[in-house]
Each structure stands twice: as C-alpha cells, then as structure tokens.
Structure 1
Amino acid sequence: MHYSYALNPTFYNNVIDLARMHNPAILILTKTKASGDRAKRIADRLPFDGAIFTNAIGLSGGLWLLWDSSRVSVTELAKTEQEIHALVTPIYSNTPWLLSIVYVSPRFVERCLLWDNLKTVSELHSFPWVMAGDFNEVLMGEDKYRGRAVNICRALRFQDCLDSCRMMDIGFSGTRFTWSNQRPLSYLIQERIDRVFVNAEWNGLFPESFVQHLKREHSDHCPVLLCLNRSQDINFLRPFRFQPMWLTHLDFLGT
C-alpha cells in the first residue's frame, strides 16, 4: 500500500480500515515521509507488533515494513533508503523466503544503484524470493495511459534487473493502473508502477498465489494485495536517496 504522507490526519483511519478489511500478516508502506521516533510513534498505533523503517530525507522517502508476529517471523537482513530485505517465515511453516520491498528513486543515478543492489542480492542467496513495492517505472506501453512516452532506456534497465534476478510477474486482477495523477480526463495520466514479482522457487512454494489491485480511495496509488493462496488468510498489501548497503554482512551471507 502506498501513502504519500504518514502524517496526514486521515492516514491512521485509512490504514486501520484496510487492515480490518483484508487482515494482512505483512503491510508495506512507501513514501511515508516519516522515519525514526516519529515513524515508531505512528506505527505503534497500528495493529502490527513488528516494524522496520528506512530513513526519510526531508519530505521524501520513508519505507515501512510492518508485520503481525503471531503469524509470521521476520528477520531484517539489510536496508537502504530505497529498499528493505528481510527473511520471512510463516508461523505454520519451516520454509523461509526472502522479501525485498522497494521505493525506487526518480533520480537516475540512485535508481541505477538500486538495480545494481538487487542484482547483487540475487547472487547472495537461493531463497524463494518476492520483490514488491513502488518501482516508479513502467515496463511497456500498455502499462501507461497518456503522458510522456515510455522511456525505452530506463525500461530496459528495469527489465535487465528483473531478468538478472530471475523475476516473473504473476499477473493481477482489478484495475490495470496502480497510480493516477487524479486530474480531469483531458489531463489524466495513469501508470502501473506498483508491482509484485516472484522467482520460480517462490512461485513453486505458493502456486496459487495471486495479486489484486484494490480500489483507490485515499491516495494517488491503489493498494496492492498479494494473497498466498485462495484458502489461507495471510496477505500482503502492497516504497529514497541511496545509502551504501553492506551486502556482505555476515547476517545476510550466513542465512
């Protein structure tokens, strides 16, 4: 789920409503513009008892990963201002898998650094892997309605990262576009930039998983829901500047 400002007076009630309706085990919030003690104070009021935050820089960034520890165990592996990597183990299972959540910077140099980071992560593990978040980029023309044409060079860099990480798109139901500029029709621009990708190992672990684009109500982004299967109620709702990431940290390599 993407919110542009966690300090908005409606933020708390909107998140609570979505949590009650969809009962997620893990909640991802992107571009919250809140970090540190301020983020913790806000998150403590939400129905999740686990949290990882990245730094907000001024009025930008602030990526949150929240979870219900009665349903999943989450171990932080590494993070930067654009990404969080964590190992997730459902309480009902002994099989861990890697969750990488992102908010891709609109700045060219920083997004290239993130693509390189993700490629490096792919070389450090063999886990089932989910990559989810706001990628701030479309892959093809059909992912965009009006506005500037797709930047082919940027789209190719994005696709190269996905290919290097051996990621696949498992499709979705609901509205095609996840972001809107919320302008009148003659000026309307819409894009599919909030995405969920998985590798073959994760897809084999959860072959019935599916993605839903939920109704956009309180944000210019619609919430994105990842369900692990059609009978089990453990769900994911669908983040800036780069900081060096210690990808060779012993906790990461030894997992």
Structure 2
Amino acid sequence: MWKRSVGCNVVDSSNNHIDVHIMEGSRVSWRLTCYYGYPEREKRHDAWCFLRWLVRSDNIPWCIVGDFNDMLCASDKMGPHPHPQLLLDGFKAIIDECGLLEVDLKGGDYSWEKSKGKLNWVRERLDRAFADANWWRKFPLCKLSVIHTIKSDHDPILLELVNTEFSRKQFRFKFENTWLHEPSFKEEVVHYWEDIPKIHLLPKLLSVSSFMVR
C-alpha cells in the first residue's frame, strides 16, 4: 500500500472483520476482508451466516483471510478430542455455498497450538485464506505461507500476490525443444503443475511457463 499507484479504502468494519477496497489508479480493483471468526463453538452458525452476508455484500474480486476459528477436515487438528464432524461439514458447506476456494498453506499444516510438549498438546489450522473465482483469475500464482514464532500461540500467515493480467504484447511464450534434454525437466514440470490448486487451467500454465523461462 506504500505505492502511489495502489491505495486502499476501508468500507466496512466490525469486531469480526475489516472490509477493504484495493484501488489501482482511480478504480476499485479487488476486495480484501480481514476476518476473525467467533471463538465460541455455540456461535458457529452465527459465523457461517456472517460469511454468507459478506459474500453477498459486494460483487468485485474477493479474498478473505484471517482466523476463522473453524476447520474443514479432521486432519486440520492434531491432539485429543477430535473436532465434531457436524462442524466440519457445516464450515465446508458454507465455503462451497459462497463459491470460495482455499489458498494452499505452505510451510506447515497448523497455525495455532496449545500446551506444546505436554500430553494434551493440541495443534489446529485456524488461520486461512479463501478467494472467489474472479480473484483467482487475477492472482493465480498467489502464495500463502505460515511464519513460525515463539512469542504467540498463533503463527502469522503471509499472503503474497503475483498479478498475472498480461496482455498479448506483454507475455510471449515459446517452447524450446532443447529443454527436453535436461535430465530433471519433466520431473520439475510435474512439480510446478501439481503445486497449483485444481482451480483454473491458466494458473497452471502460467506456473509451468514461468518456471521454463526463468
């Protein structure tokens, strides 16, 4: 946001969210919601209704990131007392209903822990980022990383963006047959192809082609 060509306007906020419009020049380019889900288990349905309201409140490319205090699958928790399947199913259902796709987390499986080193040590993935299809088209090569810290029970997450809105004049790609003679070429192509979530063909093509021309 330090660039003069990019600005942000806070358009709404509450105890649980901050809604921001990201400006590129004089136009609204996309929307970022920083979110904190209710920590109380009895308020899960309230949290899901709030997410439903958020997705309907605007129609520009949207990314929502933060501490959801929710989990999508059993593997999102390590430790005693598994997360209730009913809550797992409910959170997944609202994410699907909102048309959101998750940004894969790199650098670790969990972002919160309690009682480390003890018998009741619990680790959970509570901090996440989701985006709609229009946002993914704009930032298909985005990257979400967990940054480990010893000063908090929550590890911060970092969302890095790569804008790939190339025009035909800006982006040209030509395949070089000599690349096929490199011993690790096919293996690396498979790695870059599978590293991108199965969302759009374009992100996968951009990831593979960017690797080739580096």
* Structure 2 partner of 1:78: 12
Aligned to 2:32: 99
- Cα deviation, 1:136-175, whole Å, max 9, x if unaligned, reads 1211111111121111222222112211211111212101
Question: Structure 2, unaligned stretches of length 5 or more?
Answer: 165-214
Q: CA deviation at 1:113?
A: 2.3
Amino acid across the alignment from 1:154? L
What amino acid is the match of 2:33? Answer: S
Partner of 1:113: 46
In the TM superposition, 1:231-242 aligns within 5 A as none
Q: Is the 8 A contact 1:87 1:97 kept in 2?
A: yes
Give the alignment of 1:74-223 within 5 angstroms. Answer: 74-90=8-24, 94=27, 96-108=29-41, 110-223=43-156
Greater shift in the superposed pair: 166-175 or 221-230: 221-230
Identity over aligned residues, as a percent? 24
For 2:121, the aligned partner's letter is: L
Cα shift at 1:86: 1.7
- More helix as a share of residues: 2
Counterpart code for 1:201: N
Contact persistence 1:82–1:104 (CA under 8 A): yes
Deviation at 1:112, TM superposition (A): 2.3
Residue identity matched to 2:55: S
The answer to whether the Cα contact below 8 Å between 1:82 and 1:114 also exists between their aligned partners in 2 is no
Q: What is the CA distance between 1:216 and its match in structure 2? A: 2.2
Deviations 1:88-140 (A, max 9, x none): 1246x945211111111122454422321221232232211111110112111
Residues matched between the structures, number: 164
The higher relative CO (CA closer than 8 Å, separation ≥ 6) is in: 1
Length-normalised TM-score, structure 1: 0.58
Q: Which has the larger radius of gyration?
A: 2
Calculate the TM-score normalised by the size of structure 2.
Answer: 0.68
Per-residue CA deviation, residues 203-222 of structure 1 (Å, 9 max, x unaligned), is: 10011111111122321111
CA contact (8 A) 2:146 2:156 kept: yes
Q: RMSD across aligned C-alpha pairs, in angstroms?
A: 2.3
